[in-house]
């Protein structure tokens, strides 16, 4: 067995341990992170829309309150 084959065989046997010990990311880890990022981004967009709509509703309610206060004077 030449040195390249020996090293390849050794690395293949120890790969999981090396990934854990060196805290390396696998393709599956990166894919999972990407999927979670997309989900968070979608949720953030929804929250921004909700915030904008809520702000508009509150502005309209405050206008109505001011109008009612003016009528009561």
Q: What is the pTM of this model?
A: 0.55
| pLDDT at residue 1, rounded to an integer | 64
| pLDDT at residue 23, rounded to an integer | 86
Q: pLDDT digit string (tens) for 10-57?
A: 888 888 888 888 888 889 999 999 999 999 999 999 999 999 999 999
Q: Compute the distance between CA of residue 43 and CA of residue 47 in angstroms, rounded to an integer.
A: 6
Domain with 58 in it: 3-72
Q: Compute the distance between CA of residue 10 and CA of residue 32 in angstroms, rounded to an integer.
A: 28
Structurally, the chain folds into a number of domains equal to: 1
């Amino acid at each position: 067995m030449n040195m390249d084959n020996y090293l390849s065989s050794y690395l293949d046997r120890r790969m999981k341990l090396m990934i854990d010990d060196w805290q390396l990311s696998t393709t599956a880890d990166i894919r999972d992170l990407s999927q979670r990022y997309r989900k968070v981004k979608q949720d953030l967009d929804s929250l921004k829309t909700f915030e904008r709509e809520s702000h508009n509703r509150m502005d309209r309610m405050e206008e109505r309150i001011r109008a009612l206060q003016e009528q009561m004077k």
